[in-house]
């Protein structure tokens, strides 16, 4: 089992270009697994973790409803945003500047073959990061992501999850609102949940956050949870 991981920080990068890059890395791992099985070889499969910020973009997952996008093409253009239907689970979400997006492209055969445990570990890295800032967050039963004040009228989501997995190889991942412009969420029904609000670390702590500091804390918790080795 190869627990080595290559972390790549892509900075601010177009959504479509990043998606294509994810697909390329994903396909490389899947192809190697197929070759290992077919040729009875035992080459290590690589693992990648991409951090990125996207320009304003809305993405709709396979289980999503188009009516959860409340803007026309013209309105999207006016807001400088783009829109894509994509091959992850989940409904509609927003990505934009000030948001940490994490795309783990892992061969879970190197870690554990349990997609629910995988999702819980991604959530846990964010929960532990928020705890470092004195914030108690939690999961919401029956929903993915990280939330505050679950089960109350003040329930609000700070981190969304949406992943794809094939042959135990993962892609897509999580979106953690740090200094995000939350007004962009007003143009969609986030994750298809009409009565839930969204928030950001900046909004919760009422101050602009050090983006790189938060990202490094998330990275540290991911490495510990997955028992990864950085290469």
Tracing tokens 């400088």 back to the chain, one arrives at: 80
Q: How far is the C-alpha of 50 from the C-alpha of 131, rounded, in Å?
A: 23
CA distance 113 to 116: 9
Active-site entry in 191, 214, 218, 222: 191
CB 141 within 8 A of CB 155: no
Tally of CA atoms within 13 A in the half-sphere of 172 that contains its CB: 19
Q: Residue with structure tokens 């990043």?
A: 18
Q: Cα angle vertex 12, ends 125, 83, to 5°?
A: 90
Q: Indicate if 191 belongs to the active site.
A: yes
Report the interhelical angle of 211-226 vs 115-132 (nearest 10°).
Answer: 140
Beta strands in the chain (DSSP E): 4-12, 48-53, 57-60, 82-85, 92-95, 99-105, 146-148, 156-166, 169-177, 197-198, 229-230
Is 146 in a helix, a strand, or coil? strand
> 82 near 179, Cβ under 8 Å?
no
Task: Give the residue numbers marked as catalytic.
Answer: 191
């Amino acid at each position: 089992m190869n627990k080595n991981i290559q972390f790549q920080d892509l900075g601010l990068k177009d959504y479509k270009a990043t998606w294509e890059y994810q697909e390329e890395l994903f396909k490389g791992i899947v192809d190697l697994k197929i070759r290992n099985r077919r040729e009875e070889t035992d080459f290590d499969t690589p693992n990648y973790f991409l951090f990125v910020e996207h320009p304003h973009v809305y993405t709709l997952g396979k289980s999503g409803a188009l009516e959860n996008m409340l803007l026309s093409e013209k309105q999207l253009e006016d807001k400088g945003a783009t829109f894509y239907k994509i091959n992850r689970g989940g409904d509609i979400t927003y990505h934009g500047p000030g948001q940490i997006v994490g795309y783990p492209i892992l061969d879970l055969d190197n870690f554990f073959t349990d997609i629910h445990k995988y999702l819980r570990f991604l959530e846990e890295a964010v929960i532990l990061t928020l705890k470092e800032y004195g914030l108690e967050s939690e999961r919401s039963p029956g929903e993915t992501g990280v939330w505050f004040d679950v089960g109350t009228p003040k329930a609000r989501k700070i981190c969304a999850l949406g992943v794809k997995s094939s042959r135990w190889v993962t892609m897509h991942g999580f979106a953690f609102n740090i200094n995000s412009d939350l007004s962009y969420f007003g143009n969609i029904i986030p994750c298809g949940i009409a009565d839930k609000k969204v928030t950001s670390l900046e909004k919760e702590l009422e101050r602009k956050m050090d983006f790189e500091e938060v990202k490094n804390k998330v990275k540290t918790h991911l490495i510990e949870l997955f028992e990864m080795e950085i290469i």
